[in-house]
A and B are shown apart, each in its own frame.
Chain A
Amino acid sequence: DGGITQSPKYLFRKEGQNVTLSCEQNLNHDAMYWYRQDPGQGLRLIYYSQIVNDFQKGDIAEGYSVSREKKESFPLTVTSAQKNPTAFYLCASSVLRTGGEWNEQFFGPGTRLTVL
């Protein structure tokens, strides 16, 4: 059963804590992405990775960190430096761009993070 999974579904964080959101895919995709979604808004790109051991900042990378040690996994850490982390976090994967064209992205079910 191919797909992309995220865990946990709900996560609660106290102020000053770091938390890590998990994202795993078995689609053999090279590219993986993390997005943040706030109520009534579109998705904003946090980080993306096109190959193992390499990743790039998106539009709102401050206060977040990622790693890409395995092709299948792209965990996101929300650090205490992120001032307003309460949001819905979505992970996605895709094959690499071909001929300059962006391909379909496959999304996980999301993690809802709430700061207490």
Chain B
Amino acid sequence: SQQGEEDPQALSIQEGENATMNCSYKTSINNLQWYRQNSGRGLVHLILIRSNEREKHSGRLRVTLDTSKKSSSLLITASRAADTASYFCATERGNKLVFGAGTILRVKS
């Protein structure tokens, strides 16, 4: 089974709205990473949050981490059509980095 699992599976919003995606994981971690994938392309790293951090920002992205609940959220503020993509969280499982199934975000203009 996947270490990290995102929800929702799909999200459709209007341009300008905020988008929130969640990731839950099962075992303790050193860090959690978020990636974006545009259709038919490779993944692009967005942000890494360490286990001793609770919140991190990068431009319009805000990531939170709650290690007691084993969950993380990715918030994209003031979304744009160009944010349309799949978003994955990645966490450690043993000696591997494991990716969830992703959230498909569609931003309508």
Q: Name A's B-contacting residues (CB within 8 A).
A: 4, 6, 35, 40-43, 45, 48, 58-59, 88, 90, 92, 99-110, 112
CA distance A15 to B53 in the complex (A): 50
The answer to whether B33 and A102 have CB atoms under 8 Å apart is yes
Q: What band does the interface of chain B fall in when counting residues whose beta carbon is under 8 Å from A?
A: 20 to 34
From B11-19, B73-81, B92-100, the one touching the partner chain is B92-100
The answer to whether B45 and A105 have CB atoms under 8 Å apart is yes
How near does chain A come to B50, taking the closest CB pair, in angstroms?
A: 8
The answer to whether A43 and B92 have CB atoms under 8 Å apart is no
Q: Which of B33, B44, B96, B100 contacts A58 (CB 8 A)?
A: B96
The answer to whether A107 and B31 have CB atoms under 8 Å apart is no
CA distance A107 to B36 in the complex (A): 11
24 A-B contacts (beta carbon < 8 Å): A40-B101, A42-B102, A48-B96, A58-B96, A90-B43, A92-B42, A92-B43, A99-B30, A100-B30, A101-B31, A102-B30, A102-B31, A102-B33, A102-B92, A102-B97, A103-B48, A104-B33, A105-B45, A106-B45, A107-B43, A107-B44, A108-B42, A110-B41, A110-B42
How near does chain B come to A90, taking the closest CB pair, in angstroms?
A: 6
Enumerate chain A residues within 8 angstroms of B96, measured Cβ to Cβ: 45, 48, 58-59
The answer to whether B99 and A42 have CB atoms under 8 Å apart is yes
CA distance A107 to B9 in the complex (A): 23
CA distance A6 to B43 in the complex (A): 13
CA distance A40 to B103 in the complex (A): 9
Given A6-B42, A105-B90, 13 more A-B residue pairs with CB atoms under 8 Å apart are A35-B99, A40-B101, A43-B88, A43-B99, A58-B96, A90-B43, A100-B30, A101-B30, A101-B50, A102-B31, A102-B90, A107-B44, A110-B40
